């Protein structure tokens, strides 16, 4: 056995902080990128952010947008309204307008209002409430009946049936058959067993159909309109505009601050200073320059990917969703010469403003479905065709999933019945038995 030294040359990709930063920046949306750049500017004095001037005066005078540093620019999200009202305040205001209530009755009313859930239902039993407040149960019942007369109709109910009955009474409809359906036939109603309800009530099926249609128009969650919710605001990262016979792709930079080098600290590097201070400034300068480089790389990558998507999906932009082609990230990677993981990061959380509306970039990547003529059909266009079939069907004779499968096959799109059922559910349509109208 011989021992010795041998030199070998190998290639290995090292994940440096700079490379990690470039990858992170690429997958950021415009809104996330804004937050990230502000964080970097707070940590690095070399970085100078110049915001876009979006003042109303400048827009009205028709002047071009220009970067301005110290003008307190307007944030586009500042114009999004924030609801100040909620269910508790809404009902409290109505309780305050009721004259003649004693302090005890007001206290009971406030207690009951405070125990409504986000859907507007009373979450505790009346006897329990009376025990907690140490008041007679009848007193609580009276105040609850008062609150149930407030708007929105159906509020403070203790069950779905009571909620719907309150709404029927609010509209002045006291039909005994309507109440009978709500009280005893909700399961049959939810399953669209109209004939079974008609047999139980001994009335005409068409009459039952009209009553069930009326019940379905009622609101099962009257408090939901006041429930807080997280709003989703999407700002387009890419714009596509048609010019003559071409589609022009641009990356939207208007929402992202321009990153520059602070001239004060830049001049300090040229002046005599302590070596430690210069080392600190040089380190921060290198970080800022790499950030600028990463932003430019992000812009160029988004441009290449977006242009490839538009070229591939040109028929969609010309004729609509029924002409959306199947497309994978691997195909776009081959067209652009980029790695598939880069494509995945580039399309993540990005939106494209087009002449046909705002779309997430991932929307254009759809799986291929087989067809008789050998052409690939996208799953998204198949969904839209299913939607069109269901919307145009006779409500008395709705298409079953099997019937839709056969119709699609005649048009050259081969889908299994299970796939049709899956797409139908994703579109929010009920089964044919539950869609049937008598």
The answer as to whether 246 is a domain residue is yes
Task: Write down the pTM of the prediction.
Answer: 0.58
Q: So what's the pLDDT on residue 191?
A: 86
- CA dist., res. 106 & res. 102, Å (int): 6
Cα angle, residue 389 at apex, residues 413 and 435 outer, rounded to 5°: 130
Give kind and range of the element (H or E) at residue 359.
Answer: strand 357-360
My answer on whether 143 and 94 are in the same domain is yes
The answer as to whether 66 is a domain residue is no
My answer on whether 204 and 248 are in the same domain is no
My answer on whether 104 and 194 are in the same domain is yes
The answer as to whether 98 is a domain residue is yes
Q: What is the mean pLDDT of each run of 10 residues along the chain (438 residues)?
A: 62 63 85 88 87 44 42 40 66 92 92 92 92 93 94 93 92 86 90 90 91 91 77 79 90 79 81 75 88 91 94 89 85 92 91 91 78 60 85 88 86 83 87 82
Give the end of a domain, one of 203, 226, 249: 226
Structure tokens at 299: 């812009």
My answer on whether 416 and 384 are in the same domain is yes
Q: What is the count of structural domains for the chain?
A: 3
My answer on whether 116 and 216 are in the same domain is yes
Q: So what's the pLDDT on residue 104?
A: 93
Q: So what's the pLDDT on residue 381?
A: 78
Angle subtended by helix axes 417-426 and 401-410, to nearest 10: 110
Kindly report the backbone phi and psi dihedral angles of residue 243, in degrees, each rounded to the nearest multiple of 5, phi listed first.
-130, 110
My answer on whether 97 and 170 are in the same domain is yes
My answer on whether 222 and 264 are in the same domain is no
The answer as to whether 348 is a domain residue is yes
Q: So what's the pLDDT on residue 247?
A: 92
Give the end of a domain, one of 171, 196, 226: 226
Reduced to 3 states (helix: H, G, I; strand: E, B; else coil), residue 144 is helix
Q: So what's the pLDDT on residue 35?
A: 87
My answer on whether 291 and 318 are in the same domain is yes
The answer as to whether 162 is a domain residue is yes
Q: So what's the pLDDT on residue 80?
A: 36
The answer as to whether 182 is a domain residue is yes
φ/ψ bin of 202: left (φ > 0), alpha (ψ from -120 to 50), beta (otherwise)? left
My answer on whether 221 and 255 are in the same domain is no
Structure tokens at 430: 């009920």
My answer on whether 154 and 258 are in the same domain is no
φ/ψ bin of 295: left (φ > 0), alpha (ψ from -120 to 50), beta (otherwise)? alpha
My answer on whether 387 and 350 are in the same domain is no
The answer as to whether 68 is a domain residue is no
Q: So what's the pLDDT on residue 120?
A: 93
Q: So what's the pLDDT on residue 372?
A: 53
Strands 246-251 and 368-369: unpaired
My answer on whether 205 and 279 are in the same domain is no
Alpha helices in 171-270 (DSSP H): 176-184, 186-190, 194-201, 205-216, 263-268
The answer as to whether 342 is a domain residue is yes
Residues shown for the chain: 438
Residue 424 belongs to domain with CATH number: 1.10.10.60
Domain that holds residue 283: 238-364
Give the end of a domain, one of 326, 343, 364: 364
Cβ atoms of residues 39 and 259 within 8 Å: no
């Amino acid at each position: 056995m011989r021992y010795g030294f041998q030199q070998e040359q190998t290639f290995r990709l090292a994940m440096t902080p700079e490379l990690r930063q470039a990858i992170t920046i690429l997958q950021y949306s415009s809104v996330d990128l804004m937050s990230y750049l502000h964080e970097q500017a707070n940590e690095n004095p070399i970085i100078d952010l110049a915001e876009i001037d979006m003042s109303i005066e400048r827009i009205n005078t028709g002047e071009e947008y220009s970067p301005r540093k110290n003008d307190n620019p307007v944030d586009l999200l500042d114009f999004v309204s924030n609801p100040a009202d909620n269910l508790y305040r809404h009902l409290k205001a109505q309780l305050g307008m009721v004259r003649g209530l004693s302090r005890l009755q007001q206290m009971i009313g406030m207690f009951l209002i405070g125990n409504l859930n986000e859907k507007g239902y009373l979450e505790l039993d009346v006897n329990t409430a009376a025990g907690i407040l140490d008041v007679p149960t009848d007193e609580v019942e009276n105040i609850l009946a008062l609150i149930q007369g407030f708007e929105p109709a159906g509020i403070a109910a203790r069950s779905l049936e009571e909620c719907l009955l309150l709404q029927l009474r609010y509209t002045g409809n006291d039909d005994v058959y309507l109440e009978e359906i709500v009280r005893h036939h909700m399961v049959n109603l939810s399953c669209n067993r109209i004939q079974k309800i008609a047999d139980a009530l001994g009335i005409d099926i068409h009459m039952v159909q009209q009553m069930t249609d009326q019940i379905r128009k009622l609101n099962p969650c009257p408090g939901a309109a006041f429930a807080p919710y997280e709003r989703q605001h999407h700002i387009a990262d890419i714009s596509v505009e048609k010019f003559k016979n071409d589609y022009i792709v641009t990356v939207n930079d208007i929402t992202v601050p321009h990153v520059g080098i602070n001239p004060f600290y830049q001049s300090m590097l040229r002046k005599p200073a302590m070596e430690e201070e210069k080392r600190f400034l040089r380190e921060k300068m290198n970080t800022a320059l790499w950030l600028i480089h990463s932003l430019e790389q992000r812009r160029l990558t988004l441009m290449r990917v977006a242009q490839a998507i538009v070229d591939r999906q040109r028929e969609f932009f010309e004729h609509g969703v029924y002409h959306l082609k199947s497309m994978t990230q691997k195909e776009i990677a081959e067209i652009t010469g980029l790695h598939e993981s880069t494509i995945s990061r580039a399309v993540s959380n990005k939106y494209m403003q087009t002449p046909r509306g705002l779309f997430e970039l991932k929307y254009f990547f759809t799986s291929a479905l087989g067809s008789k003529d050998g052409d690939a059909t996208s799953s998204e266009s198949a969904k839209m065709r299913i939607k069109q079939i269901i919307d145009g069907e006779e409500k008395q004779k709705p298409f079953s999933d099997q019937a839709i499968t056969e119709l699609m096959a005649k048009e050259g799109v081969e889908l299994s019945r299970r796939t049709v059922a899956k797409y139908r559910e994703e579109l929010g349509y009920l089964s044919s038995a539950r869609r049937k109208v008598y």
